[in-house]
Amino acid sequence: MCGIIGFTGSSPAVPLLLDGLERLEYRGYDSAGVAVISAEKGLQIQKCKGRLSALRERLDSLPPLEGTTGMGHTRWATHGEPNDVNSHPHVSQNGQVAIVHNGIIENYAEIKEFLLHEGVRFRSDTDSEVVAQLLDYYFTAGSDPLDAVYRVLERLEGAYALGILCADQPDMLIAARKDAPLLLGYGQGENFIASDATAIIAHTRTVAYMEDGEVAVLTPDGIAVYDEYRRPVEKQRHTIDWDVSAAEKGGYAHFMFKEIMEQPDALRHTVSPRLRDGEVVFDELALTEEKLRSFQRIYIVACGSSYHVGMLGKYNLERFLRLPVEVCLASEFRYSGPLVDERSLVIVISQSGETLDSMAALREARSRGGYILAIVNVVGSSIARESDDVLYTWAGPEIAVATTKAYSTQLALLTMLGLWMGKALGRLDGAEYAAVTAELAALPGKLETVLSSAGAYQYLASLYFNRDCVFFIGRNLDYALGLEGSLKLKEISYIHSESYAAGELKHGTISLIEPGTLVVALATYGPLIDKAVSNIVEVKARGAEVVALTTESHRERMAELADHLLVIPDSHPALQPNLGVVPLQLFAYYIALQRGCDIDKPKNLAKSVTVE
């Protein structure tokens, strides 16, 4: 996934583009580049491998690029290794056009072969360059810019968010999108494109979200938008309501730590408006009781941490609803011939709302008649806009690649959805409903209690940051929670770890446990605490070092067993993971810190994976 920003107005473009790219670096950071255009100097490009700082250094060492129209790109490589030539913008061989691209052109090889046959000389190994060269081909054949753009888009297959500059149009920027996010920003005498609002919120809060197939032509005076048939489109404008500071570190060392600490507020913003007098209320849902009663099966479809939310949700929803809940990795679901029909509720969970696998799974489920309900953090994102219903996690922008507050709010919202459905279907015992909703309201305060001892995890990390493998074990909700604890550790500290259903250890994995092996034993799910104890004894007998995560009511019992204890407040079993995940986030964070890892931008990762 890559970051795009574009601008046309009366201010020098480069400083504005670089500031925007800095806010987009979480989307990909293996190379970056800018292109500006002016009547006097035409198209001017600078781009290079490495972080944005490398591009800044390059620009500082050269005469300034002059122009008040331009675009920038920060890359997460898919085709073509990270290097100067493969970075964006790409310029056509005749220098008539420059493009930046997010997505994958799936038929780029065929187009490249055609152009090579036409004598075009390519510079890079990327798929994206074919767009620049094909545009140039049509320009040379006499097409005007918009004609050329539509002719190129007709031939492209795959996903694209495009910024396009034409050398002979110094006040114009063209944008196009299909299956990759791109929004329009409306300013006073200036206009923008961006992959997400964080890049331009310092300049405008008025945005519109481009739809698949649309083309936008931006000048300082306005933005004209056309649909795939080149018919003018009047775009609905939205106002971004969170402030710039929400997308800044605010004095924290890392966005990830900031977002861990923001979890109580993120939960308040997500839960409180939907919890009135002890009742879960979803004003935003279109789902009717009649439709709700028609569901025979629930699918939860997601990737990564969002999938882990689904794994936890399965336990709660099946207990609340007495309906089968199938949790599927989106990348598997989309190719598995899912048995979805009009009696299926398909819950798609995604922080970014742009994950391509989840988007494709949504479309597969819709094509089979499923009712799509999305749980998404980014307002107006693709998954949100293609669903029948959307529940937004109001966690605010999440910048760190490793999700924390979005995960927590997704989890709370999914539990709330289970409560709401259980009550509507008359399948949830009133006492349990009241007990869980009461604990929901108490969650933010209890989270603050956990966060107040964040420093204790620093000591624990100092003991274990040099390990090369860690096991997470747990049962029921603790097993599902361990999946997230393991992923957090892997993705930011690069320590290999495994998460196992504790009852499964004896079926093979326990052969890996030897003296000194670090095992994080999750023992927060009260109904199976005795089983958790026996699993701890089991690994201790083989010499494991055990860090146990448990609740206040089991503190003493666990203290006798474990080498180290992480204790969280007691809550309702269904909500315990919302508290239990925080120590696991902090454990991973401080270990990664001790290891000197790039916590907000882990190697090889990006915040939203908009490629297969």
Which residues of this protein are in contact with ligand AGP, per CB under 6 A? 303-306, 350-352, 355, 358, 401-403, 491, 608-609
Among candidate residues 6, 341, 361, 400, the one with its CA nearest the CA of residue 165:
6
Inter-residue contact 217 to 146 (CB < 8 Å): yes
Closest to ligand AGP by CB, 400 vs 558, is 400
Is 328 a known active-site residue? no
Q: Kind and range of the H or E element at 215?
A: strand 215-219
Token pair recorded at residue 316: 């709660």
- As measured in angstroms, the least distance from the Cβ of 304 to ligand AGP is 2
- As measured in angstroms, the least distance from the Cβ of 157 to ligand AGP is 23
Token pair recorded at residue 202: 């310092």
- As measured in angstroms, the least distance from the Cβ of 14 to ligand AGP is 30
Inter-residue contact 389 to 346 (CB < 8 Å): no
Could you tell me how many residues make up the chain? 612
Q: Which residue is nearest to ligand AGP (CB)?
A: 304
Closest to ligand AGP by CB, 74 vs 351, is 351
Among candidate residues 575, 407, 581, 376, the one with its CA nearest the CA of residue 489:
581
Is 603 a known active-site residue? no
Contacts of 64 (CB under 8 A, 6+ apart): 12, 14
Q: Which three-class secondary structure state does DSSP give residue 347?
A: strand
Closest to ligand AGP by CB, 105 vs 303, is 303
Inter-helix orientation angle 145-155/129-140, to 10°? 130
Closest to ligand AGP by CB, 191 vs 351, is 351
Tell me how far apart the alpha carbons of residues 549 and 532 are, in angstroms, rounded to a whole number.
Answer: 11
Dihedral sign computed on CA atoms, order 548, 307, 28, 194: negative
Tell me how far apart the alpha carbons of residues 487 and 479 are, in angstroms, rounded to a whole number.
Answer: 13
Closest to ligand AGP by CB, 411 vs 609, is 609
Query: Furthest-apart CA pair in the chain: how many Å?
Result: 81
Phi, psi of 188 (to 5 degrees): -95, 105
Chain center to CA of 219: 31
Inter-residue contact 94 to 65 (CB < 8 Å): no
Q: Is 207 exposed, middle or buried (0-12, 13-18, 19+ CB in 10 A)?
A: buried
Q: Which three-class secondary structure state does DSSP give residue 522?
A: strand
Beta strands in 253-305 (DSSP E): 275-276, 279-280, 297-302
- As measured in angstroms, the least distance from the Cβ of 490 to ligand AGP is 10
- As measured in angstroms, the least distance from the Cβ of 484 to ligand AGP is 8
- As measured in angstroms, the least distance from the Cβ of 15 to ligand AGP is 30
Closest to ligand AGP by CB, 129 vs 357, is 357
- The one-letter code for the residue type at 82 is P
- As measured in angstroms, the least distance from the Cβ of 374 to ligand AGP is 10
Q: Which three-class secondary structure state does DSSP give residue 454?
A: coil
User: Which DSSP letter does residue 104 get?
Assistant: E
- As measured in angstroms, the least distance from the Cβ of 393 to ligand AGP is 10
- As measured in angstroms, the least distance from the Cβ of 232 to ligand AGP is 33
CB atoms within 10 A of CB 272: 13
Closest to ligand AGP by CB, 401 vs 417, is 401
- As measured in angstroms, the least distance from the Cβ of 72 to ligand AGP is 23
Closest to ligand AGP by CB, 145 vs 304, is 304
Chain center to CA of 403: 8
Inter-residue contact 247 to 399 (CB < 8 Å): yes
Among candidate residues 567, 386, 602, the one with its CA nearest the CA of residue 487:
602
Catalytic residue, from 112, 258, 488, 607: name it: 607
Closest to ligand AGP by CB, 321 vs 360, is 360
Token pair recorded at residue 488: 């957090």
Closest to ligand AGP by CB, 166 vs 260, is 260
Inter-residue contact 523 to 532 (CB < 8 Å): yes
Distances (CA, A) of 585 to 183, 206, 303, 384: 32, 35, 18, 27
Inter-residue contact 510 to 490 (CB < 8 Å): no
- As measured in angstroms, the least distance from the Cβ of 574 to ligand AGP is 22
Closest to ligand AGP by CB, 32 vs 374, is 374
Catalytic residue, from 2, 166, 303, 597: name it: 2
Token pair recorded at residue 383: 């998954």
Q: Is 532 exposed, middle or buried (0-12, 13-18, 19+ CB in 10 A)?
A: buried
| CA dihedral of residues 329, 334, 335, 336 (deg, nearest 10) | 70
What positions carry a catalytic annotation? Answer: 2, 607
